[in-house]
Structures are given as structure tokens and as C-alpha cells.
Amino acid sequence: MDFTMGPAAARLRGEVRALVAEHVPPGYLGAFTGDPADLEVAQRFCRLLAERGLLCPAWPAEYGGRDASPWEQTVVREEMWAHHEPRGAQYMGVNWVGPTIMRHGTAEQRRAHLPPIARGEAIWCQGFSEPDAGSDLASLRTAARRDGADWLISGQKVWTSYAAMAGWCFLLARTSERERRQQGLTIFLVPMDAPGVEVRPIGSLLGPHHLNEVFLDDVRVGGDAVLGEVDGGWKVVQEVLSFERVGIARYARCERLLQTAPRVLGDAWDGLPAELRTRWARGLVQCRRARLLAYRVIALQGGGRVRPGDAAAYRIAVTRLDQDSAEVLMDIVGLAPPEGPGTGEARRFRLAVEDHWRYSHASTVASGSIDVQRMLLARALLAAP
């Protein structure tokens, strides 16, 4: 299996890595830390990518892309996640908000929203989960009711990433009561500065991050805020979640950290217990497996087919990889010598592993719990001919 995707992708990967090395400080662990300088790094780097046509290369040129293949977009996605996402919050708009608006939006919605995303200027958040509707998303209670030509939206969303800085929310609300809960749901494109929108940050033992609650109190939006058909939002959501779940190349960061470990430890690597090095090798195999499953979903998306079972299989594999690799890496750094050659790199590696370990705890819950993914995969397998 050729993981390089050919010479063009290899050149692109080299270009992206060179930009990261030049513009992202060593030891960078993401935009959402206690240091405001990290967010500034992400905002500058995002604009740089946009200027070079690397923020959303697979988008059509008319929307700010360069008509590149999905595999070139995959290269960018992998390198961004491997280096702690120096695009900041932009991956959401690039990976699935923009593509969904392309497929389901009106010409006016595409003109209004796609160019700002492609320039790295627009930040989006996702208004899906609620206090009583997380993995069981269809049970949400946020409701939108007609008021003349407008809609009034009221309810509460939770675990909303980037809500405090986002300009727009991709929001799912109930617009009618139907026999099946998945029916009667509609997607709205809601400006976050609209009257009636309140954002409250959610504290965490993991440290500074980007999670929030969002309260909506008769938020008025026009009919042009509806994406797709009224009461037809569930079909779009299924597509969105498939794009979202493959849109974060978690395997790329796991593989980079695993591959870095022997170099950082140097001679101490040979002194590690054989059992630990076996787990390390098994982690690299898991990385390859998750990568292949991701590539399968990307190939299906490129052909216009999005199958929930394939996305679920990838999601199960990559979230388990996230947690298994984090445990192995923590055991490795726990046995590493505290001093020695390359101490600066060793310290940065230790901090990156600790960061990876902290956030891996949520990976089997975020974007749909692993139990729900198993149910989706089982249904797909049972429904197969």
C-alpha cells in the first residue's frame, strides 16, 4: 500500500511541513491554551494557508479552492492534525460546513458563506448536542417556529466548540412534530451575534479549551437561514457527521508521536521492556488500519456516496487508536531518562504526549459515542445483501 498517494501529494506534504516548520513555533500544542499567543499563531497561519491556496485546495476555484483532488485535501488535513492543528478553529468550516453548503445551499448562501471560509476569515460552530440529546441527537428539544416569513428559535445547545469566537452556527432545530423523531428537523445558519444568543464557557479539569453552552431565546432568523429543505435536516446531518468523523485525521498525530519516540529516547529505547515496544509496534499497525479506513470513506465521498457504516468503522478504529496510543506513549515517557542529549526535544515530546493523553479521554464520546458508532456499523452490516 502506497501511503504517499503519489509524487504530487508528496510534494504537497513537503510544502506543508516546510510552512509548519517556518511559521509554527516548536512545542506548539494548539490554539486553545492559556497563552493568547497560540491563538494568534493559528490565525496567522490560517491566513497564510489561504493565501497559498492550501486551506481548502479541493474546493472548486469559484469558491476559493484550486480544484485539487480530495487526496491533496487529505494531505493537508493529516499534516495539520499531526502538528496540533495550527489552523485553529478553521477545520470545521473547511472540512464539512463549506462542503455541506456547496451541496445543499442556495446560490445566495454559497456566495455569502463560502468565500469567507476559503479566506480563513469565518469561524463556525456546530449547534447539535443538547443536555438530553447527545448521542441520541434526534431527541433534541431546541425548536424553531414560524413567525411570518421569519423563524424564531429557542432552546439550549451544549459542548459547542468555538461558540465564543464563532461568527456563525450550523444549528439543528425541530420545526415540526412527526411520528419518527428523525423527521421534522431543519438546519439553520444562525449568526452568533443575533439578539437572543448567549454563550457560556464550560470549565474543565483538562485546562483551557473551546467548549461552551449556547442558549437561544426567540432568536429571529429569516427564511434564507434555512439550509436545504424544511423538515429535511436529518438527511443532511447524516452526511455532515460522515464528513466530520473522517475530517479529523487523528491517526496522523498518533503516528507522528509514535514514530518520534525512538529518536527522542535514543539509546534508552533499547532498554525499554520488550512488552512495551511490542505495544508500540501494535500502535503503528493500528495507525495504518485507521488510515486505510479513512481513505475508504474519502474515496466514497469523492464518488458521491456516503455510507454511515464505513464512517462508523473508521470512527471506532481511530478513537480506540487515540486512547491506546496515548497509554503506550505515557508509559514510554514515564520510563525515559529525565536528562540527556536532546533534552529540549525530549521535553517538548513529553508535553505533546501529555496533551495527547488528556484529550484522548474524550475521543470515544465526542462526535457520537463509540457505542452509537458500533450500533451504526451493526445496522449497516445486517442490512447488507
Give the residue numbers annotated as catalytic, written as ranges: 244
Contacts (Cβ under 8 Å, ≥6 apart) of 3: 288, 291
Give the total residue count for the chain: 385
User: Counting runs of H as helices and runs of E as strands, what totals does the chain give?
Assistant: 12, 8
H/E stretch holding 216 reads: strand 212-221
Q: DSSP of 7-64, one letter per residue?
A: HHHHHHHHHHHHHHHHHS-TT---SSSS-HHHHHHHHHHHHHHHHTT-SSTTS-GGGT
Q: Apex CA 193: angle with CA 192 and CA 196, to 5°?
A: 90
Amino acid identity at 22: E
Classify strands 150-157 and 212-221 as parallel, antiparallel or unpaired.
Answer: antiparallel
Q: In whole angstroms, what is the distance from residue 15 CA to residue 228 CA?
A: 37
Cross-strand bridge partners of residue 254:
none
Cross-strand bridge partners of residue 168:
124, 191
Contacts (Cβ under 8 Å, ≥6 apart) of 385: none
CB neighbours (10 Å) of residue 333? 20
Q: Are 101 and 110 in contact (CB under 8 A)?
A: yes
Q: Are 153 and 218 in contact (CB under 8 A)?
A: yes
Q: Which residues of 275-298 are buried (b: 16+ CB within 10 A; e: fewer)?
A: eebebbeebeebbebbbebbbbbb
